[in-house]
Structure 1
Amino acid sequence: MVQSHVNVERDGRIARVQLANPARRNALGRTLLEELYVEFSTLGGDPDVGVIVLSATGPAFSAGHDIAEMVGRDEAYYRDLFGACSSLMQLLRSLPQPVIAAVDGVATAAGCQLVAGCDLAVATEQSTFATPGLRLGLFCSTPLVPISRAIGQKRVMQMLLTARSIDAPTALAWGLVNQVVPRDELDAAVDDLAHQILEFSPLVTNLGKSAFYHQAGLSEPSAYEVMNEIMTANAMLPDAQEGLQAFTEKRSPTWG
């Protein structure tokens, strides 16, 4: 029987997904990518899950792809590996629930991509981030997709072309993570963020996440056109009407 390297726990409406292969520095090998895809797909279809938290065991959040697994493989293997990783990143974007990365340690290459692929991220002060593919003769072409969208062209090009790590305060200043906290405060900070999200209508939160990523790829005129339609549909939802009514009545809303 193949050992699983992904732990999943439920804590009320929070689902916790944990990378659990510290001996391999939580490397994103083909099997682990498949495990993550299956678990996230399952959670995405569960209406009782409002927020998903992604964390890891050991000193590394994820050291990227499993280099030992990659040596001497054929083109079909590489195409499948990078395709599986890209599919996972796109799945994270398409999930209805917000996904929070809880980062403690190194997040390198595809591991850094995984952080950028989450909707939000909280990191410890000791965490570092890098896209050092050039050291191996491999430009981090797939990781740059979400990272560039998080931190912008000049900053991601610096990471890509120098292969140097950035520390947690730099990651915060650049927009790769939302918060930096002491290690012993990571769980509390992530839970606080999750509970803030859970205060609101799940349906509207899910709608909003989808709308955000939809408009991101559109021109400004097209984005306004599409968002006008989405916001109109949103306003017609029972939860929106409840929220508006509750505001006028100076009471807390009761979401459906």
Structure 2
Amino acid sequence: MDPIKTRQQGMILEVTLDRPKANAIDLATSRVMGEVFASFRDDPDLRVAILTGAGEKFFCPGWDLKAAAEGDAVDGDYGVGGFGGLQELRAMNKPVIAAVNGIACGGGLELALSADMILAADHASFALPEIRSGTIADAASIKLPKRIPYHIAMELLLTGRWFDPQEAKGWGLVNEILPAADLLPRAWELAELLASGPPLVYAAIKEVVREAEDAKFQDIMNRITKRQLETIDVLYSSEDQLEGATAFAEKRDPVWKGR
């Protein structure tokens, strides 16, 4: 069976990880996910993606240890976007919403961290248990101490303990907590809001945020001012840039064309 289900409605793509029993990701599934997200990135008719898991128990537990035991190498070919097709995908300049519908641990939590916004069902749970299987949560070790207080991040990485959505929201890892029945409807509501916005501005925001992560403030400001970032150069020369100002002056809603 196809482990990845997609549903497109308008400018929104819903991506569902559907790999019974637990939505774990092996090398083949990761490569498929990379193709799906790369296609989303490159499709001018798509503006927002939602990532979720099938069922109500698992969002994703991460790496498929059974597949690993049968020969899938941990350093094997994950595909174009790295593990899960998203966390290393270059130039992903469109918003991605993770709708965490259940357990998100290990690489599953890292996959959620690759999204721009995270919504969680009220029964979801989180952990980075790699320490218990003698390996490292590599992406989380890079990202987590930059997202939440250092000592909390280190506690989660070093102990592998579980935490609930309320704690995740308290540390700023989750945007909203919702009843399970409301999770996807809310994700779609948010996606529709984003899809109605200016795609060139979203692209510029995502590139600036990425480039600024390990750079000095003035260095990035200089690159923006000199239009040395591709998305900034496109934005400042675009019809949408003029449309925004014109719509404001004419007291009407702007019509974004993405060009």
The TM-score with structure 1 as length reference comes to: 0.89
SS in 2 for 1:107: strand
SS in 2 for 1:100: strand
Matched residue, 1:209: 206
Moved more, 239-248 or 77-86: 77-86
The answer on 1:111 being equivalent to 2:108 is yes
Q: Is the 8 A contact 2:6 2:16 kept in 1?
A: yes
Matches within 5 A, 1:44-193: 44-58=41-55, 59-71=57-69, 73=71, 77-80=73-76, 84-85=82-83, 88-91=86-89, 94-193=91-190
Q: Is the 8 A contact 1:16 1:54 kept in 2?
A: yes
Q: Pick the structure with more helix per residue.
A: 1
Q: Is the 8 A contact 1:22 1:60 kept in 2?
A: no
SS in 1 for 2:251: coil
**2:25 alignment partner, one of 25, 28, 32:** 28
Q: Is the 8 A contact 1:128 1:168 kept in 2?
A: yes
Matched residue, 1:237: 238
Q: Is the 8 A contact 1:64 1:110 kept in 2?
A: yes
Cα distance, 1:82 vs structure 2: 7.0
Cα distance, 1:222 vs structure 2: 1.2
SS in 2 for 1:49: coil
SS in 2 for 1:89: coil
Instruction: Render the CA deviation track for 1:11-63: whole Å, top value 9, x for unaligned.
Output: 1110011000131x111111111110011111111111010110111211001
Q: Is the 8 A contact 2:63 2:107 kept in 1?
A: yes
Tell me how far apart the structure 1 counterparts of residues 219 and 7 of structure 2 sit (CA, whole Å): 40
Matched residue, 1:247: 248
Moved more, 167-176 or 77-86: 77-86
SS in 1 for 2:23: coil
Gaps of at least 5 residues in structure 1 are: none
Cα distance, 1:204 vs structure 2: 2.3
Q: Is the 8 A contact 1:82 1:142 kept in 2?
A: no
Instruction: Render the CA deviation track for 1:214-254: whole Å, top value 9, x for unaligned.
Output: 22231222122123334576344221111112212222112
AA paired with 1:234?
A: L
Aligned-residue sequence identity (percent) comes to 28
Matched residue, 2:38: 41
Q: Is the 8 A contact 2:33 2:84 kept in 1?
A: no
SS in 1 for 2:189: helix
SS in 1 for 2:139: coil
Cα distance change on mapping 1:82 and 1:237 into 2, 3 Å = closer
The TM-score with structure 2 as length reference comes to: 0.88
Gaps of at least 5 residues in structure 2 are: none
Tell me how far apart the structure 1 counterparts of residues 61 and 84 of structure 2 sit (CA, whole Å): 16
